[in-house]
Structure 1
């Protein structure tokens, strides 16, 4: 143990106290104003509830406001001199030898060619640094559909040949999906973790430049106390209007927010699960996930693993750093609002589960407990906002429908409590809240102007127009997210089960899908607005900023999911980001081009399933046999033999997904299916498949 804490800890404590002082003092003033705005000045239980919810929500947005201000000030004075990256000169890092590092890509039902093309771009970029011999690559599949994982195996083998990566690029598929992604990574570590000193974790949509990866390894070598080093991923490749808005907001605003967050967290930062490097030995020793001992949501496996792993690494005495200045770290955004909300449905349950860890897990750092609280509030704030709206609606109804109460419930004095209204104070408080919400966005414009980065976003005029477009859309989407997140939180607390599925990364949403997703919120918005009109026209006008977005949620989602409007704004130079206006980095250029290239045809009919390809194509059949096992033991022998016969007689459509998966995992079944299919009569299912392949091959030649 160290004799005295490192200097960054003292700096971090000072910054956190300063942040807390600003947030709490501002919140106290705001709540004081609200109490004097309310008719009974907090003299009723209803108004106490309104003030309490308002205080929590105001403090929540104040934290974001002051984090952005911290980031602006730090960048104004040249960056954070206490950051991990600023400890070392560039030439010092360049001279640091590299250690063996694994680059892992956990996948589950992803677009196979698209995903592995991104990994290919990362591989090539590391290769261009001249350090490829220090890296190994692992594709860790949890896919269940045989058509998906057979395609994964075929694409992996083709990729190994294209890259010349024999003995360096590996593929493994689990047959038991225990504990989702965290279990996938844990399974890899148990089998091969000791081969590498470090582990770089990617998501299916992640891209990291070779330069950044090499630099991260060298930083870890220079800083033995660091257990996790997290980059700040930038969203790219947005095509739909929704994705382009998210991409612009992330790229432009995150510069301030990430800088401020890193300055406050310092060596006790969070881990976001990807685009980061981890020290393998302490991660394996200290970051295993326990089973929670609570009930319902708070019992069983931990669903959202990344924050927990960072907290466990900190508890073991290792540092966790977020380094926004590393750069060249990328990911992608869901293309539609419905897809984002589906992802949030999964994340909300995992984040709420952290409440048990935050309260009852011993030995965790205070900063990591606050990181848990931050993640919880990302979803719980929507419920509090909804409750705030409900209480204010009740208050408005009581003032409108009931006579004035001079001795309301909760009022203990012998003297009457006279209601008072202060519209001027209400306007001032509203304006102060709007400043908290929107001032950081214009602070980012000032930051870009100071650092002469506005041209990368299309110039000052187009940048301001882009910010205004983003503000309008974010205001329009806020009530929709509030309603959806509130439902997810209630569902999580009731421990509703969730399905685990691959994410949509390219497709827009249909009108039917949009109405199916948003219809409950549209009904609630309509009913609430109608009730507000029946109470009072002024209250009706007050309700419109919430009710109109809810009523228009489905058409809004459909319009935002379309690629045409996004491309239209791109052609005008709006919502532009530096990765689009400047010469693209090699890793981005390569990924884009690799994904555009068509997969080589194997002589089979276009559109045929991966299962048919695995059976008919001699080369693919041998590849899959090499990855399969001998499963014909005991009772399974007879079952596999009869399933092979049924598949040859009636085709794969007669079998379940489990039966197809079992056939493709058995080496002898693969061989028998290949031989039997090619011997099938021309009028059989397999004969027709072979005939279609021959026709396609003849047309292509």
Structure 2
């Protein structure tokens, strides 16, 4: 290894980590797991302000009441469709499935109406969304990471930290912020690359920002456990913590405004932003990016308006009061094994519900721009992510009975559950409707029953009413896209930036087409995830791909083989009824027929670049990028260059300077508590190290998990350092 960074380390006689220890002094505090069957003593707390945690009830009546009324109207219309004659059991099943699905989309529609009205009002009104006070509270900015590219993570932290310094040069409010990279990385090579990146980060921000790094030796409870570990050991130094994700970026005005709002409202427990999606390179990523940018604010703004102070938490890009979090949001371990037992997987919804239960407000800052994240590059990556989210959301069925939850918090949990259960319900509705059509076509109706009647019972439906109800359902389903498109097309500035209304209309149509094609595939993916979870399979915890979504053809075919087969079967059954029914279903079936080429095309960076060159599916942040995104891209190049050659375990053993630096960065927790439980990994690693006769021999028998464990164990590293590099003749034991 002869890179500039590596060489500069070896040139130092006594290498030290710039800026002091890798983490500040510990200040332990308890974070008790909450009892879901009863409230802790003193909860809910008394609010500091009058109505400090009380929401406006008229907003609930308007949105939820309208959704209920609309649902009752639609359900009655469907009943009337079947009630021309006697309703059959199969028709009752269709009615039940329709009712469940319609109630789900009606609430989103009514919230969307509130959102579009609010957004139009903001456009033509004068709204000041800044808090005029000087920040004097301490804020910890947390960037959890798990086997992510270190260049992405550390360059993002550097960019946000240094730009905040520039933004608050006059007030020096940046001094209230400390930046933490909290690693749960298990790959030993990535772990050492993180240390190298941290060393570089400290060099680059020296004297301007406080940045810290800690890698856990055991990632218990995944991300929630990562944050909880920080809270119990260091969070007592801070008033609030801004929780990010490994792909998050946030502009300085957004960071500062969140901290100021938290300081200004003593009853606020959590404030969540609505992130925009950025840096999408594939067609699918650009579709998500475009939809989130122009349709997402309609839903998000409406949701923020009517839930008011009973908002939600989406796991990142939100600021949380430390006192509220550690006292009220400690997560219990659910009885039983995964997928429904064990650690709570989708922790964010539950933490928000527990914070609100304890008497703190939870808000959604829909009016605050400047919050960014990235999205999966392919359908396969979406499927992997959604499998984990699906398990976590279905696990919330165990949380719903929790004593003391606000009804809106319960509704958030139900919404999360229904976001995945809706796919099986829609599929059952489609299949039941198809079965109903086949029954009418092939099964001879019984006009005269055993009961005496002068008139036959004709199997008829009100086709005119059914068609009208179909149009109403489709309008409600697509309303957020319609509202978002209206907002976009009436915004002259955005249309100008995006290349004119003709190109904007082209982007809207392309988004609709691609979304319609992938919708049935994602429906089957979600159905598969639900059935997998119900059958007892755990999702595990796989790192997420961020940029390239391409896979070999055989892998894509393997992933989508059942989707194509199901599409063919549904086509056959529709054909058995009539060509007309097949024509009606063909828009939904087309995506299934072409699942493999569609998956490959939407995951292609090359095709994504072509779409980008035509300014299709573009967003304002892509055409006129904020300086933050440009600065982050430049900083990432610097880290990529410096991390071309990274340290490895043999390098640490070879160079004392690197080992000394590694020891300085390593988490300072005790490696083993005498008399404590010894786990299998710990025991195996210890035996291999203690019985090793040379460094080379030991390295050849260690797997990745054991290397990762040893990298966090100073005692075992010390034993390894004292081993000879190679076997000698005398070391070989003869067994002849």
- Give TM-score, length-normalised by structure 1: 0.88
Deviation for aligned residue 1:246: 0.6
Tell me which residue corresponds to 1:648.
Answer: 696
2:349 aligned with 1:304: no
**Alignment RMSD (CA, Å):** 3.1
Deviation for aligned residue 1:517: 1.6
Query: 1:152-173: per-residue Cα shift (whole Å, max 9, x none)?
Result: 1221122111111699222112
Tell me which residue corresponds to 2:532.
Answer: 491
2:91 aligned with 1:47: yes
Deviation for aligned residue 1:264: 0.8
Given candidates 362, 376, 390, the residue that maps to 1:320 is 362
Deviation for aligned residue 1:571: 1.4
- Structure 1 Cα separation of the partners of residues 686 and 411 of structure 2: 57
Answer whether contact 2:281 2:605 (CA < 8 A) is retained.
yes
- Structure 1 Cα separation of the partners of residues 566 and 658 of structure 2: 54
- Structure 1 Cα separation of the partners of residues 513 and 289 of structure 2: 15
Task: Flag the 1:434–1:645 CA change in 2: closer, same or farther, 3 A.
Answer: same
2:101 aligned with 1:57: yes
Tell me which residue corresponds to 1:33.
Answer: 77
Answer whether contact 2:55 2:307 (CA < 8 A) is retained.
no
Deviation for aligned residue 1:257: 1.5
- Structure 2 Cα separation of the partners of residues 558 and 313 of structure 1: 43
Answer whether contact 1:40 1:47 (CA < 8 A) is retained.
no
Farther-moved stretch of structure 1 (463-472 vs 18-27):
18-27
Deviation for aligned residue 1:135: 1.1
- Structure 2 Cα separation of the partners of residues 295 and 123 of structure 1: 41
- Structure 2 Cα separation of the partners of residues 538 and 378 of structure 1: 31
Unpaired runs of 5+ in structure 2?
A: 1-45, 675-682, 729-736
Tell me which residue corresponds to 2:137.
Answer: 99
Deviation for aligned residue 1:431: 1.8
Tell me which residue corresponds to 2:444.
Answer: 403
2:118 aligned with 1:78: no
2:156 aligned with 1:118: yes
Tell me which residue corresponds to 1:686.
Answer: none
- Structure 2 Cα separation of the partners of residues 330 and 380 of structure 1: 28
Farther-moved stretch of structure 1 (411-420 vs 528-537):
411-420
Answer whether contact 1:40 1:420 (CA < 8 A) is retained.
yes
- Structure 1 Cα separation of the partners of residues 263 and 701 of structure 2: 56
Q: Which has the higher helix share?
A: 1
SS of 2:621 mapped into structure 1: helix
2:54 aligned with 1:6: no
Query: 1:236-269: per-residue Cα shift (whole Å, max 9, x none)?
Result: 0000111011101101112222111111111110
Which aligned pairs between 1:600-611 and structure 2 lie closer than 5 A?
Answer: 610-611=648-649
Farther-moved stretch of structure 1 (362-371 vs 63-72):
63-72
Which aligned pairs between 1:411-490 and structure 2 lie closer than 5 A?
Answer: 416-452=456-492, 453-490=494-531
Answer whether contact 1:148 1:610 (CA < 8 A) is retained.
no
2:551 aligned with 1:503: no
Task: Flag the 1:244–1:412 CA change in 2: closer, same or farther, 3 A.
Answer: farther
Deviation for aligned residue 1:132: 2.5
Deviation for aligned residue 1:408: 8.2
Answer whether contact 2:217 2:712 (CA < 8 A) is retained.
no
Tell me which residue corresponds to 1:690.
Answer: none
SS of 1:103 mapped into structure 2: strand
2:191 aligned with 1:149: yes
Answer whether contact 2:148 2:246 (CA < 8 A) is retained.
yes
Deviation for aligned residue 1:480: 0.6
Tell me which residue corresponds to 2:429.
Answer: 388
Task: Flag the 1:670–1:542 CA change in 2: closer, same or farther, 3 A.
Answer: same
Tell me which residue corresponds to 2:249.
Answer: 207
- Structure 1 Cα separation of the partners of residues 684 and 562 of structure 2: 48
SS of 1:157 mapped into structure 2: helix
- Give TM-score, length-normalised by structure 2: 0.84
Given candidates 542, 545, 565, the residue that maps to 1:523 is 565
- Structure 1 Cα separation of the partners of residues 453 and 308 of structure 2: 51
SS of 2:108 mapped into structure 1: helix
Deviation for aligned residue 1:672: 6.8
Tell me which residue corresponds to 1:352.
Answer: 394
SS of 1:278 mapped into structure 2: strand
- Structure 2 Cα separation of the partners of residues 590 and 412 of structure 1: 83
Unpaired runs of 5+ in structure 1?
A: 682-701
Tell me which residue corresponds to 1:196.
Answer: 238
SS of 1:300 mapped into structure 2: coil
Deviation for aligned residue 1:361: 0.3
Deviation for aligned residue 1:323: 0.8
Which aligned pairs between 1:598-637 and structure 2 lie closer than 5 A?
Answer: 598-599=639-640, 610-616=648-654, 619-628=657-666
SS of 1:249 mapped into structure 2: helix
Which aligned pairs between 1:15-30 and structure 2 lie closer than 5 A?
Answer: 15-30=59-74
Answer whether contact 2:423 2:524 (CA < 8 A) is retained.
yes
2:311 aligned with 1:277: no
Answer whether contact 1:160 1:166 (CA < 8 A) is retained.
no
SS of 2:154 mapped into structure 1: helix
Deviation for aligned residue 1:139: 1.3
SS of 1:277 mapped into structure 2: strand
- Structure 2 Cα separation of the partners of residues 288 and 458 of structure 1: 49
Answer whether contact 2:301 2:366 (CA < 8 A) is retained.
yes
Given candidates 658, 663, 678, the residue that maps to 2:705 is 658
Deviation for aligned residue 1:493: 2.0
Report which structure shows greater RCO (CA 8 Å, sep ≥6): 2
- Structure 1 Cα separation of the partners of residues 198 and 402 of structure 2: 41
Answer whether contact 2:273 2:371 (CA < 8 A) is retained.
yes
- Structure 2 Cα separation of the partners of residues 462 and 55 of structure 1: 38
